[in-house]
Amino acid sequence: MRSRQVVSLILLGTLSSFGVGLLGPIYPIFVVDRFSASLIDLGTLYTILCLTVAIFKVPAGRLVDKYGKVRIFFIGVLLSALASLSYIFASEISHLYIIEFTFGLSAALQRPSLLSLMADVGGEGKRGMLFGLFESSYDIAEALAALLAAFIVSRLGFESLFIICSGCQATSGLLMLKSGRRLGQ
């Protein structure tokens, strides 16, 4: 296991998670506030996201094997960054269904890429610990982002939050492209 590669991947995963985590607790408030959505609407939006992720992870894994981990991760975070910015322009709830589908597709592309990269850099007998560290870092970033999101929206508004989310996601994609050579991809 090469520690520099491990640290790079954990930081990239953390930055990507941070971008998504900023949306987590704020998203339902945005949807209800901006679109006067019902609980059924919120449930439907989340269902679209989750089903899209679940349906497309296996095909995304195949794409990772065929076209490379870094390239597919980059496409995933690019879609995620675009979806975050799309919230600013959404004017009706039907737009949110398209955005949630896009987010689901982006997550489906990113996860197999990151996990495959982690498996590559993990040494024999250390993969379990490495995955635990990676997943814990991912979850901590998402938790801290949730707290920060409330502050950002209360001070700067939803649009600023969406721009920051997009920036985190785009930055993680660009850093992945840059560090792809170090990761042997």
Q: What digits encode the pLDDT tens for the residues 30-52?
A: 999 999 999 999 999 999 999 99
User: Would 184 be classed as within a structural domain?
Assistant: no
Cβ contacts of residue 141 below 8 Å, gap of 6+?
A: 14, 15, 17, 18, 21
- Give the CATH number for residue 112: 1.20.1250.20
Helices (H), the chain: 3-21, 27-35, 39-67, 69-89, 93-121, 127-156, 158-179
pLDDT band at 86 (very low <50, low <70, confident <90, very high): very high
Does residue 185 form part of some domain?
A: no
Express as a percent the part of the chain with pLDDT over 70: 95
Q: Encode pLDDT of 103-119 as tens digits.
A: 999 999 999 998 888 88
Q: Output the average pLDDT for the chain.
A: 89
CA-CA distance, 35 to 45, in Å (whole number)?
Answer: 13
Inside any domain, residue 32: yes
Please name which of 100, 87, 83 lies closest in space to residue 41, comparing C-alpha atoms: 100
The answer to whether position 167 is within a domain reads yes
Measured distance CA(71)–CA(27) in Å, rounded = 28
pLDDT in tens, 41-80: 999 999 999 999 999 999 999 999 999 999 999 999 999 9
CB atoms within 10 A of CB 129: 12
Greater confidence, 38 or 7? 38
Domain tally, the chain: 1
45 domain residue, yes or no: yes
| Residue at 79 is within a domain | yes
Are 82 and 102 a contacting pair, CB within 8 Å? yes
Q: Name the token pair of 29.
A: 């408030």
In terms of residue numbers, what domain contains 64? 3-179
pLDDT at 181 (0 to 100): 58
- Report yes or no on 131 lying in a domain: yes
Q: Is residue 76 part of a domain?
A: yes
